[in-house]
Structure 1
Amino acid sequence: MRFKVSLLGLLLFVSMVPAALAAENIQLDFNGKLAETSAKPVNKDGSVYVPIRVVEEIEGLTISSWDNATKSLTIAQSGTDAALTLKVGEKTAQKGSQTIGMSQPAQVINNRVMVPLRFVAEAFDADVAWNPDSKTVYVAKTTEQQKKSLHSGDLTAARLAALNLPRISSLPDLDFSGDSLGTWSIYFPEGEYKSFFSISNQVISYYRITDNAAQLIWEAALALDAKQSKESTFYAKGIFKEQGTRPEIKTNLVFYDISTHAGQAQYGRIHTDGTVEQLGTKEMNNLDELFPIEEENAGVSPLRLEGTSGVK
């Protein structure tokens, strides 16, 4: 439901405020989709401000009201009683009976009422990441059904949910374009879904999973003579360019090598000493056909894949 306000009252209010700031070319990514806005976002005092309607791009959120007398707006979350009330110029917000402090208040900027995007998103438990290289704000918030799949207790369903989460990143662009080989590889810690590696076009990416997003932690380019070797992929041979913190591997990995041309996936296990154990081949045309690896030990202890202190 779109909010209904006194348009005349809102216009009269903002016309009395002379604030003017240069808008930046900031991109807004909501669950993997770039949003178009009626006014450009503004980076002010370390916060990215957006027009109030933009918050409706966040999964499940709507602007339910604007009160011109008190200069306040209320944001509601569908399917719940959760509502957040902000007042222009005040550094506190109200969510139910809870008063929440704000580092920056809602403001009138360039004759528009604008709100700090990170504060609003995080107030409704969304994940937010700022990428200074691309000047992109990533906002990720999944549905309750997606969260149920992630925590279902079914390892394959949880992995599929993890792979389908929105991707967010604070890392600079790797600035590398590799060869397309018609294959895509996925690697999970054995018995786990809380992180994964993905290899495509000679680029290896490592993601950690939250309830809302797959966050890019590390990314690297692979040398041409190393792209077919799983040992070189995970033990640094052939890596010649990287961004972020390279993870240290402390458990076996299971893998799916997916061929889009053949419509099948080879699968197996990589041991911590680099030994590759090929387990078989099954039909697989897309991610929705992800299958359980019967030989996998699903009873291993929780995540043992940790970040090192720095990139080696």
Structure 2
Amino acid sequence: MKKKVAASFLLTVALSSTLLGSSFANSTSYKVSISGSSTTYDGQVVSGRVLIPVKAIQDFKGIKMNWNAATKQLKLQKENSTVLLTAGKSVALVNNKSVSLDVPVTVINGRTLVPVRFVSESLNYNVELNPSNKQITISERANSVLNENYKSNNLAISRIAALESPVNDSGMPMLTADDEGLNSTYYFPEGKSDSYFIQTADLVYYYEIKGGQAKLMWEANLDTTKKSAAKDITKLFGYQAEKQYGTAPQLSERYVYFNVNLFTYMIQYGFANSDGQMSKLGSQQSSIEVIQNKNFVREIDEEQPIRS
């Protein structure tokens, strides 16, 4: 009996999604990846839908999964959301409400297939399809607590939530620092929490908060031997960009910065002007726990209120 239950649990579940472009419709294989996992999964197309294996669901952070061999039902849970799928049926239950599926849950060659966009979005995940390289990326969104904190009128609480939001860096290359980074500096446009920079050594990353994620929009490898002469975002960091990818934002008039010394745990904070000049307002001794929880972010009395 135990062997039969184990075999049933290892049934392959496939997740499908509407394809963007005819290149997918004619393809039978591509790669699927889940943010935070180094594993990629082979997928296929059935009736114009993308299918991936059950092991992929196990890489979804925070999801509980249970397979009932007797009823042929797969139960997925995350926070307050529950999805119940039954093999052979084109109707699923989401929080006990019936939802029709475009493609029925189907078993093919011993594999149970279910729709990826439906499952992912029902459990608060984001799905991105890239037809050019036949890649699908599934990434986590912020939970309900982070979403509420991000909406807070307290700018420090909102900014901490922004920094803690799941990062979506799909489609961007991995840059390598040439210098050793013992300091990280976080920049927010004055009065705002919807975007931020992180500078560590000669690397800079720019994120925007979109759909419950911190989406990586721009990154650069700075040349610390060449001062920035351009009137663009590199002026804020003082050096020219040796390599850069994505779309750099326009300069704001002023930024709030928080500098974290990763060796001494000393925090400094203040303002940074668009020309890169920094004025320190204060400092405080911190701890590894404070840094990990982003609680070094504080309200700045001199900061101007949020602008519409």
Q: TM-score, normalised by structure 1?
A: 0.70
Query: Bigger shift: 156-165 or 184-193?
Result: 156-165
Q: Matched residues in 1 for 2:274 and 2:139: separation?
A: 35
Tell me if the contact between 2:29 and 2:45 (Cα under 8 Å) persists in the aligned partners.
no
Give matches, 1:158-177, under 5 Å.
158-177=158-177
| Segment of structure 1 superposing worse, 45-54 or 162-171 | 45-54
User: Identity percentage over the alignment?
Assistant: 23
In structure 2, list runs of 5 or more residues that go unmatched: 12-26
Aligned residues: 281
Contact 2:205 2:219 in 1 (8 A): yes
1:246-285 superposed matches below 5 A = 246-272=248-274, 274-285=276-287
Does 1:294 pair with 2:296? Answer: no
Which residue does 2:19 correspond to in 1? none
1:214 aligns to what? 214
Amino acid at match of 2:80: T
Aligned partner of 2:111: which letter? Answer: R
CA RMSD in angstroms comes to 4.1
Indicate the residue corresponding to 1:186 in structure 2.
186
Matches within 5 A, 1:1-312: 26-29=32-35, 32-34=36-38, 40-44=41-45, 48-52=50-54, 54-63=56-65, 73-78=73-78, 80=80, 82-85=82-85, 88=88, 90=90, 93-95=92-94, 96-97=96-97, 99-100=99-100, 102=102, 106-108=105-107, 111-129=110-128, 137-210=137-210, 212-225=212-225, 232-234=234-236, 238-272=240-274, 274-285=276-287, 286-288=291-293, 289-297=295-303, 299-302=305-308
Aligned partners of 1:7, 1:28: CA distance in 2, in Å? 24
Describe the superposition over 1:222-266 as per-residue Cα deviations: whole angstroms up to 9, x where unpaired: 112258999744389501321111112345211112222232133
Per-residue displacement from partner, 1:52-106 (whole Å, max 9, x unpaired)? 354354355444555778xx7454435536435365585x65534453554x654
Change (3 A) 1:249 1:88: farther
Query: What whole-Å deviation, never above 9, does each CA across 1:98-137 have from its counterpart, x for those lacking one?
Result: 53554x6544455322334333111233223457779572
Q: Shift of the alpha carbon at 1:174?
A: 4.5
Q: Give 1:198 deviation, angstroms.
A: 0.7
Q: Which residue of 1 aligns with 2:24?
A: none
1:273–1:202 distance in 2 versus 1, CA, 3 Å:
closer
Structure 1 unaligned runs (5+)?
A: 12-20, 303-312
**CA shift in 2, pair 1:263/1:47, >3 Å:** farther
